[in-house]
Homo-oligomer: A and B are copies of this chain.
Amino acid sequence: MENTYAAAGVDVLKAEAFVGRLKKLSRRPGHEKLWAGAGGYASVVPISDSQAVALTTDGVGTKLLLASELDKLDTIGIDLVAMCANDLICVGAKPLSFLDYYATSKLVDNYADDIIKGIAEGCDQAGMLLVGGETAEVPDLYQDKHFDLAGFSMGLVSKTELITGDDIAPGDAIVGVASSGVHSNGFSLARKVVPKSKWEALLTPTLIYVKPVVELFGKPEVKLKGIVHITGGGWRNLFRLKDGVGFSIDKPLPEPEVYAELRKHVAQEELFKTFNMGMGLAVIVNKAHAASVIETFTKHNFQAQLVGQVTDQGDKLSVECNGTKFAIAN
């Protein structure tokens, strides 16, 4: 059996088809007034002519099974906050509030406390407040020691700071910001191919990019044209920025060590379509603004560099990595 994400039980294309049907089934008058809706990184609901509430929800997938099996539950909450907060900043919203949904077969005090400590730590990193949540004991749905987590986050964005991707043009710079590892996507595949003795490295918490990005929001001299949180679907997330443009990445960030193990088992294109491959966030700006963006991330102790540029090769993502060139299909 091949080592693909689909073979590991997750069919991204089928899920995308479902999301298409979901949008049709839920479409109502009023949806046209949203500044951004389902399918974008965040739903952006205007509350006046000039201001909107941005909302995201996400989970951490099967990374939580790995956390359970390693009995290390104090960082999975950081991942949960990261998945939501990093999505909020992609539309230009400043994250404010977080709520968690935590469902388990039975509340075990030390597990629950560790999970909440992680969520509180993630909220600190994201500059958010944990304002509420739901803790559900759902016997019979979850097996012993199993649980699920979902996060819900809220931010605010003004009309003038909304990031839509519309201004992106060929020649724009792609600034890549380093990830800490696999972050919170692709674990159904990662768990399958990485030997259990090396799982600890998979558990490294997702980086939260909020603070440098919010600092960039405050710099009127830097126009942020697009921000991409590299999540499920890997580098294909770049295609969410704008239709009709392409992307060329020829100076990728170094891959965290865990990818050496993944590369032993998974083909290169599948890797880039599933994982972040060392780049957790990408920021699109005019070339003239790239240095300022890199400097801001560096100041906040994130590794950032110019990794490539936007091209006029519509819907094409070409990558040069370790001396080989390949393309990633939309």
Judged by a CB distance under 8 angstroms, whether A150 is at the interface is: yes
Given A138-B62, A150-B150: A57 in contact with B133 (beta carbons within 8 A): yes
Judging by beta carbons under 8 Å apart, are A103 and B150 in contact? Answer: yes
Measured CA separation A15–B112 after assembly (Å): 10
CB–CB B57/A152 < 8 A: yes
What residues on B are CB-neighbors of A140 within 8 Å?
A: 9, 62, 65, 188
Please tell me if A170 contacts chain B, counting CB pairs below 8 Å. no
A30 in complex: contacting residue of B22, B129, B138, B141, CB < 8 Å: B129
Q: Does A319 contact B (CB under 8 A)?
A: no
* Stretch of A34-42, A247-255, A272-280, A287-295 contacting B (4+ beta carbons < 8 Å): A34-42
Q: Considering residues A11, A14, A37, A130, which has the most beta carbons from chain B within 10 angstroms of its beta carbon?
A: A130
B135 contacts A15, C-beta separation under 8 Å:
yes
Bound-complex Cα distance A34 to B96 (A): 11
Closest B residue to A39 by CB, please name it. Answer: B132
| CB pair A59 B99 closer than 8 Å | no
Residues of B within 8 A of A31 (CB): 129, 131
Question: For residues 101 through 115 of chain A, which have their beta carbon under 8 Å from a beta carbon of chain B?
Answer: 101, 103, 106-107, 109, 112-113
Cβ of A161 < 8 Å from any Cβ of B? Answer: no
Q: Whole-angstrom distance from the CB of A114 to the nearest CB of chain B? A: 10
Within the complex, the shortest CB–CB distance from A231 to chain B, in Å, comes to: 11
The reply on A137 being an interface residue by CB < 8 A is yes
How distant is the Cα of A55 from the Cα of B96 in the complex, in angstroms? 12
Minimum distance in angstroms from A162 CB to a CB of chain B: 15
Task: Flag whether A18 is at the interface (Cβ < 8 A).
Answer: yes
Name the B residues within 8 Å of A21 (CB-CB): 113, 116
Q: A25-B120, A150-B134 are contacts. A11–B99 as well, Cβ < 8 Å? A: no
Does A327 belong to the interface (CB within 8 Å)?
Answer: no
With both beta carbons as reference points, the residue of chain B lying nearest to A97 in the complex is identified as: B45
Interface residues on A, range: 35 or more
Contacting B at CB under 8 A, from A23-55, are 25-26, 28, 30-31, 34, 37-38, 40, 42-43, 45, 47, 51, 53, 55
Other 4 A-B pairs with CB < 8 A, given A26-B130, A59-B136: A18-B113, A26-B129, A47-B156, A57-B101
A residues lining the B interface (CB < 8 Å): 8-11, 14-15, 18-19, 21-22, 25-26, 28, 30-31, 34, 37-38, 40, 42-43, 45, 47, 51, 53, 55-59, 61-62, 64-65, 96-97, 99-101, 103, 106-107, 109, 112-113, 116-117, 119-120, 123-124, 129-142, 146, 148, 150, 152, 154, 156, 188
21 A-B residue pairings within 8 Å (CB atoms): A9-B140, A15-B107, A18-B109, A21-B116, A22-B133, A25-B116, A25-B120, A26-B119, A28-B130, A37-B131, A38-B132, A47-B156, A53-B154, A55-B97, A56-B99, A57-B99, A59-B138, A62-B141, A141-B148, A150-B152, A154-B154
